[in-house]
Structure 1
Amino acid sequence: MDLRQLRTFREIAEAGSLSRAADRLRIAQPALSRQIRLLEAEAGLPLFTRHGRGMALTEAGRELLARVAGPMRQLERAVVEVRALAGTIAGQVALGMMPTVAAVLAGPLARRVAERHPEVSLRVVEGYTGHLIEWLQRGATDATLLYGPATDFHLRARDLFVEGLVLAGPAGSGLSPDQPVTLAAAARLPLVLPSRPHGLRAIVEGAAARARVPLNLRHEADSFLVLKDLVVCGLGFAILPRSSIRREEAEGRMLVAPLVRPAIRRQVVLAQPPDRAPGRATQAVLDLLVEEVAARAGEGDWQTLRG
């Protein structure tokens, strides 16, 4: 088994077709087919099923891809980093984020990266906390944001910021930033929340449990865009970070009210793998991330923390 075979395997898995992978790699299809046959012979199991529309991974293929994608990416990144030692900072950096954080940070951070380090390609990967941790451990991402505090993880983690959550409702719901709502009153409203694997759901449920308040859960939505649409359409209320719905609030499509007794806050940390130091490109992106968080704090969205 060699790196060329694994790279071929990864490209075909991502393309879903031998012909598309051949076009991407600029290698003839028979050569790719031979590399896959050799890899399957070494693995002792078929890695793909062939059908009229292309090729799909078998269960064994999915397991192999999950196990080699991260290490392959680290090897490729190492070569880029070594080449760039004497020159400009370059390479691809994968950064994990929760959807509500990505809605606020991804665009501004990408602009900072493009302006300051044009040879760096930033890939933002959205997911639940469990997925974000797994991707970081496997090497699929270089760093990730997680709900904290930092002491909750066996990773190199630093506290970044905290933010209060608000009750968000549709236009005409009567909510106002000047009129706080108790958690008990909010819990009686029809609520729209993410499903249980989502960190935001855990924060809300934890606060409700401590206050001994049952939640009137009406709808669940794992997509942040869908969750917001359900609220805008009048199907329920959500408990969200205010920064993530600034646009909807400014346009009058959502109204918000602070939550009290108790107030609910989310804490966000930056986590990195404990067993490998960041490369130059990764460190450059993380430095710009800290800058962007500080800028948001200066605008009043977040309160920064020192980890």
Structure 2
Amino acid sequence: MDLKQIDYFLALAREGNMTRAARQLNVVQPALSMQIGRLERHFGKSLFDRTPHGMHLTPAGRTLLEHAAAIRREVDRTTEEMSRLDGRISGRVAIGMITSAAQSTLASSSAKVAERYPEIRLLVCEGYTDTLVEWVGAGNIDGAFVNMPKVPASLAGHAVLEEDMMFAFGAGNARTFPKRVSLDTVAGLGLVIPSRRHGLRKILDDAASEAGFVLKPRLEIDTLSAVCEIVATTDLVTVLPGVALYRALADRRLQARKIVGPSVSRSVAWVTNPRRIVSAAVTAVVDIIADDLISAASAAARAVR
């Protein structure tokens, strides 16, 4: 067993799909299958159950996952410590990000990491809060940016950002909206929001429930960039955090209003596993991403009229 096989195994365990794992590793699928087959022959056990719905770890695979993740962490930590002897920050950083963060500032943040820290190898996984928290707890990633209420007691949560959810509509929308819009008024419009699997939807549903009504959206779409595009080109409207809206607001394709009665906010946290040492490389990456998220939220807040 070598490090390449460990990396291939970890990627497949994380993705649960041969095609996605191969894409993440930047290899062809037969190469990934071959390495997984070698691992299974080495241990004399099946590591994955192959089903029409994906690849699922067997009991042997779950045992290997625990040890393989620990091996990879120790190798990365050793590599980083050796590099730091020369004053360099390097190593592999694997983080998770909720959709609203990943689809807004990730591109610019990643470019900054690449420019400032050329010896950092960055892996970013996008997902729902529940999934990301599970990965952090299992040691599959170094940490994750998630919606704060979902942080379990077994993990360490560090507040990054608290921002208001905003009512947004296309710049060409035929209707005129006041500077302050109540949540129940929004509920009566053609609303486009994420599905109930999405953390932002739970925040919206909880706020509506507390106000005594139920949201009945026209469209439910989890890809927030698509939500913004639909709202910008139709008379439909949305409620999203400023981080998800700020690019469209800056381009003047959307306009936004504050929500009142009640106001709705969300908190973003950086979550880590207390049993895992946070490296200098992880800290450097997190600082860049957090700063960009805060800047995006502030820019969106300034754009609200």
TM-score range, shorter chain: 0.7 to 0.9
- Does the Cα contact within 8 Å between 1:130 and 1:197 map onto a contact in 2? no
Max Rg structure: 1
Q: Is 1:99 aligned to 2:136, yes or no? A: no
Distance 1:69 1:99, change over 3 A: farther
Which letter does structure 2 place at the counterpart of 1:20?
A
Q: Which runs of 4+ in 1 moved over 4 A?
A: 1-13, 16-19, 31-35, 46-49, 56-59, 61-69, 149-153, 293-302
Which letter does structure 2 place at the counterpart of 1:37?
R
In structure 1, the partner of 2:31 is 20
Deviations 1:65-101 (A, max 9, x none): 8656644542442332233231211112122111111
In structure 2, the partner of 1:172 is 173
In structure 2, the partner of 1:112 is 112
- Does the Cα contact within 8 Å between 2:243 and 2:296 map onto a contact in 1? no
Distance 2:151 2:140 in 1: 23
* Pairing of 1:158-169 with structure 2 (within 5 A): 158-169=158-169
Distance 2:222 2:239 in 1: 14
Which letter does structure 2 place at the counterpart of 1:186?
V
Which letter does structure 1 place at the counterpart of 2:80?
E
Distance 1:262 1:277, change over 3 A: same
- Does the Cα contact within 8 Å between 2:47 and 2:57 map onto a contact in 1? no
Q: Which runs of 5+ in 2 are unaligned?
A: 13-17
In structure 2, the partner of 1:26 is none
Which letter does structure 1 place at the counterpart of 2:288?
L
* Pairing of 1:56-135 with structure 2 (within 5 A): 57=55, 60=58, 64=62, 70-87=69-86, 88-135=88-135
Which letter does structure 2 place at the counterpart of 1:98?
I
1:220 Cα deviation after fit: 1.2
Deviates more, 1:191-200 or 1:225-234: 225-234
- Does the Cα contact within 8 Å between 1:183 and 1:262 map onto a contact in 2? yes
Distance 1:11 1:158, change over 3 A: closer
Which letter does structure 2 place at the counterpart of 1:60?
T
Distance 1:96 1:8, change over 3 A: closer
Deviations 1:165-202 (A, max 9, x none): 111223314355x6211111001112222121211001
Distance 1:168 1:247 in 2: 12
1:224 Cα deviation after fit: 1.9
- Does the Cα contact within 8 Å between 1:8 and 1:35 map onto a contact in 2? no
Distance 1:300 1:185 in 2: 22
1:260 Cα deviation after fit: 0.9
> 1:38 aligned to 34, 37, 42, which one?
42
Q: Secondary structure at 1:118's aligned position in 2?
A: coil
Distance 1:248 1:290, change over 3 A: closer
Deviates more, 1:106-115 or 1:264-273: 106-115
Distance 1:58 1:156 in 2: 28
**How many pairs does the alignment contain?**
286
Which letter does structure 2 place at the counterpart of 1:84?
S
Q: Secondary structure at 1:217's aligned position in 2?
A: coil
Distance 1:297 1:222 in 2: 20
